[in-house]
Structure 1
Amino acid sequence: MKASTIDEVITQLDDIINVSKQTKSPLGYFAALYQKVTIKVKEGIAQNFFEDGTRMEKLDVIFANRYLTAYYDYQQGKAVTQSWQKAFALASRYWPIVLQHLLMGMNAHINLDLGIAAAEVSKGHHISDLKDDFSKINQVLSSLVHEVQNDLATIWPTFRWLLKITGKTDQLVTDFSMQLARDGAWKFAQSLVLLPDSEWRDAIKVRDKNIAAKAHLVSNPGLLPNIFLGMVRLSERGSVGQKIAQMQ
């Protein structure tokens, strides 16, 4: 069933998280992160952080339903977008680290789904009216960066040291998610909303193909990076269930 409220989104994410813990599925990593973000958006709506709280909840639900539908369709062997196919397929492999699972989910959901959701919620309105609240989503994500990095550092202690050494403490997650969300997803939403409904399907397919191609950079970055990531994977602490719990 599709969620109709932000509370239903949180509940369905909780179900995915619990099932993932029981089945020891890495799919729970992204679900746990996504639930954390959704709760933060809900708090923002309650605190009048957004210009239009009702519209923001509608956007959040449309956005979330794209992930929820993809997740359940994949579980039932149904076709999903190429972007989500690549993200979900990673769960059957041992070697990807937690961060790779998160980035693959973010790639599909932010770079593809967010623009579609923004265009859908703007039907019948000027999409420019959404711009300020769309940008505020980035602020919500930004407020969680430090917490997420601490979660990852608990799973892989060397992570915090590595970020300090490379000077990318606030960039690794934010550059991949918020920058692309603000630029790529917004531009796609602007172009999509101008098209007649009959042309949306083809436009989304083209976008999906391009985003799926980017996923390869995360799942298979090359020989030397893969060797390094293999070492990270072997040093990650905890079972899949414990790592999911750490991300919550």
Structure 2
Amino acid sequence: MVRIEQSAAVGVVDAADRMRALDARWPARDGVAVFNRVYLTVTEDIARRIEGGEFPDRRAATVLGALFAERYLSAVALAESGGRPPACWRPLFQYRRHPGVRPLQFALAGINAHIGHDLALAVVDACRALDCGPPDLENEFDQVGEVLVLLEERIREELMPGPDLLEVADPLTHLVGACSLDRARDAAWSAARLLWGVRELPGLAEEFTERVDTGVGLVGRCLLTPWP
């Protein structure tokens, strides 16, 4: 569990700086580095939009964006210190150097973990930090979600194979077609509302969180199936 009082103090710009530092020391082909580069671009864009006043509630957007990024950065720190990151992130760290896994798969696995698991928890973290409920963050959630669409655009522009490989029956084409960032965002919002609703029932909230974590981790393992 990310400590809210620490994470809320980490600005979006600081989170981007930490991702940039990771990118500088990881090999380009490293699977986590592939996701990190894509996510760094999105984080930088969120920071620019906050600074430019595009979010009605700048503080809420900063807290939500920072707490969301901190979920990923905490998983990285745990993995690099020999700890055990959440189940949703484990496949990406386990397969990060596998020669049979394509960059596109690494990027999709990172998105699956970060949006499928981390986003809902970041909303709950932000509600606690700001002393509000999910409805109070819905506008910020939607605007951050619009920026996250850039993840898909970046992946298609930089990581998709050439047109000669994009046959209808090609597994990579099928993989991209089966993933929907919009549906993942909707599921994250529903999960955040449910978790907030059962916050007075910690046992139930923990069980639900573990089930989501395990399910997202299973999908991530499938996404990272090595190619022969």
Cα distance in structure 2, aligned partners of 1:104 and 1:147: 15
Look up the SS of the partner of 1:81 in the other structure: coil
Cα distance in structure 2, aligned partners of 1:40 and 1:76: 29
Pairwise CA distance, 1:191 = 0.6
The residue number in structure 2 matching 1:139 is 146
Cα distance in structure 2, aligned partners of 1:39 and 1:28: 16
The change in CA–CA distance for 1:140 and 1:172 in structure 2 (over 3 A counts) is: farther
Once the two structures are superposed, what CA deviation does each residue of 1:209-232 show, in whole Å capped at 9, x if it has no partner?
111122233123xxxxx6xx55xx
The residue number in structure 2 matching 1:118 is 123
The residue number in structure 1 matching 2:79 is 74
TM-score (norm 2): 0.82
Pairwise CA distance, 1:130 = 1.4
Moved over 4 A (4+): 160-163, 171-175
The residue number in structure 1 matching 2:30 is 25
The residue number in structure 1 matching 2:99 is 94
TM-score (norm 1): 0.76
Larger % of helix: which?
1
The change in CA–CA distance for 1:32 and 1:73 in structure 2 (over 3 A counts) is: same
Asked whether the equivalents of residues 29 and 102 of structure 1 are also in contact (C-alpha less than 8 Å), the reply is yes
Percent identity, aligned pairs only?
23
Does residue 149 of structure 1 match 2:152?
Answer: no
Pairwise CA distance, 1:58 = 0.6
The residue number in structure 2 matching 1:65 is 70
Asked whether the equivalents of residues 120 and 193 of structure 1 are also in contact (C-alpha less than 8 Å), the reply is no
The residue number in structure 1 matching 2:171 is none
Pairwise CA distance, 1:117 = 0.3
Pairwise CA distance, 1:67 = 0.8
The change in CA–CA distance for 1:173 and 1:62 in structure 2 (over 3 A counts) is: farther
Pairwise CA distance, 1:195 = 2.1
Does residue 127 of structure 1 match 2:134?
Answer: yes
Aligned residues: 214
Pairwise CA distance, 1:181 = 3.3
